[in-house]
Chain A
Amino acid sequence: MHIMEGFLPVKHAIGWSVASAPFVAYGLRSVNKRIKEKPEQRMLLGVATAFTFVLSALKMPSVTGSCSHPTGTGLGAILFGPAAMAPIGAVVLMFQALLLAHGGLTTLGANIFSMAIVGPFACAGIYRLGRSVKLPFGVSLFLAAAVGDLLTYVTTSVQLALAFPDPVGGFVASFAKFATVFAVTQIPLAISEGLLTVVVFNALARFNPQELKDMNVITGKEVQV
């Protein structure tokens, strides 16, 4: 989902940066407030960040014969709420843009929007929906993380299709092409991301049930110690 440096026209680059900035600012404020009130959650915030670091570094082969990577933003979106993931995702994307020439500064806004805003918010929404229709905890979490991952890549496809509409078919034809590259490749990876999120969450819930209960992430029922 990394749009390469310089590969968005200037107007689009600025537009997506302007769109992402308030989310990052608000997320940063809410994270700071939370850490001030509950300093003991600092470590768990580190885990959410670390998970995003790991998963977004794993380039996995897919059935389309190309490679892509999961995003890892789902875990933090469930633990700390989707807003918190905007600054966290921004840190990860900045690291990759500056050191790895993966993504870029001019496309940072667009990449933050897809990976650190749309993904986490979709994830949190689907999780809530899943829980409200009484899906089991693990199933809700899996669906939330997987769909959030997939929607990140759909967003990237939309961004590129808006910037580069097909000369014949316009936005729709262009979106279909980019979505084939990104979204279809992402399907098995999204499933992997969902599974890995559930595995790590299980581990967290097993050893820190009280902490997660304090954060209102889980009630007593999900944890079997």
Chain B
Amino acid sequence: MKRSTNIPMLVLVVVLMAFPLWKIQKPAPGPDGKEVEIFKGADDQAKDLIGTIAPGYKPWFKPIMEPPSDEVGSLLFALQAAMGAGFIGYYLGSAMTRAKLRREQETKC
């Protein structure tokens, strides 16, 4: 794999995300005047779907701890991503330096 293919691949990922944002328009509010939500989480939609297929179903267990608000929830999600990205960055950074030092050593010998 050539290194130069990485950039187009990353661009494609951005396009894949941007396209739906640009293409999908919020539909007009329904007859009840309620705003239609778009880009809801698929997990939530599945939950709603369970409600229509089995209206009698009651969840039998509640989450032990729930983020008190969406803001706190997004904080935790950001933290999750940041920890992961931080680790990958650290690893690649040290691997890069190691490879560079090794190359320098080889040219010296």
Contact = CB atoms under 8 A, between A and B. Distances in A.
B41 A66 contact: yes
A169 B74 CA distance: 38
Given A100-B76, A101-B67, A207-B99, A195 B43 contact: no
B16 interface: yes
Interface in A204-219: 204-208
Contacts of A224: 1-3
Contact of A61 (B20, B59, B60): B20
A3 interface: yes
A44 to B, nearest CB: 8
B17 A46 contact: no
A9 B32 CA distance: 33
A177 B5 CA distance: 37
B85 A54 contact: yes
B84 A222 contact: no
Nearest to B61: A6
Contacts, number: 188
Interface residues of A, number: 77
Interface residues of B, number: 57
A185 interface: yes
Interface in A1-44: 1-7, 9-10, 43-44
B50 A164 contact: yes
A2 B61 contact: no
Contacts of B42: 62, 66-68, 181-182, 185-186
Given A62-B20, A63-B24, A181-B46, A195 B91 contact: no
Contacts of A67: 39-42
Interface of A: 1-7, 9-10, 43-44, 46-47, 49-68, 95-102, 104-106, 137-138, 156, 160, 164-167, 174, 177-178, 181-182, 185-186, 188-189, 191-192, 195-196, 198-200, 202-208, 222, 224
